[in-house]
Structure 1
């Protein structure tokens, strides 16, 4: 069995593949320059892992209640079970379509999709507890961009657009349309930011490096 790839190596290979298949690196339409998007990596000592802030609902004894969703393992994780094999983490694997199932991450962008699904379900559970009934995230678009520096550090920016349907056990489901979130992922941290408005495209706005919250940390 081959040795698992490091998180840094995976990030670098995924970012390079994304740039090649999309015709270059992606940049938002306004505000952030090409150089700042491509070269600004978050300093390794900016965050401490005990500063992670994300929804963590308490388990409930109600068998009919919606269950908390586990956050996915970091992108370098590998295993031998049926849902996480070394080959499933290959950066050369095809990127899933926007509406595809996310049971087994294959790229950094898919890791972010899985993370966002868990984040939104857990946030709804924190708010409504055992009365939470429905959380359905339907991905509509995504964008991936690399961030590199001269010291061989590599990170990935991911923008997701999706619709979210939620409902309690006492109310009919309602749908929030055109949501956009942005993520920054490097070998140590994950930052998340959400756009305040209706998203027309998966742009990197807001920039999670300056406006995001620390939602995962790998020690």
Structure 2
């Protein structure tokens, strides 16, 4: 899951980002409303955590502008204004998907972010199959040749994306953009290390091709 935090309070933004990363989420951070809009136009975020009181272009304006998109990200508004009228205004006039007043409990924030990310644009994701590999996104479970695989969140995310491709190559750069946050140097071996561990765990149940320039693909 990839999340954008638009919050100009640096300590709060850093604290929330660190906590979400510990929940295996990829997190980008900005303190600018204009930059938040630009980043959402360039990247398909699963959730945008948006402070209403951003300097310059306010969070309210960012929310209004993003709602004009064909496929906007789910938006969780954060604000010190927690009265009923404020919440109603944020959810109706601004078009936010959820609203959380400061101060908030971090566990509640995580629960709300996960709930927003589970809202499908159409139908819920179904079970994916490729040769002997079965990936169930709803249960966050993967099997190879009937064996349940013990995968880290990143390993599961990479296997899920490769299974979605149905044998087509998934470029290294795409995996970096969609499954890691913006601070990962694309030249690092993070993706290769995850793929290498996946190959070992798949064993005889399947394998992943080496990246010869066009990306990784599931064989078989």
| Same fold per superposition (TM over 0.5) | no
Structure of higher RCO (CA pairs closer than 8 Å, 6+ residues apart):
1
TM-score of the aligned structures, taking structure 1 as reference length: 0.26
Higher Rg: 2
TM-score of the aligned structures, taking structure 2 as reference length: 0.26
Please identify which structure carries the higher strand content. Answer: 1
Please identify which structure carries the higher helix content. Answer: 2
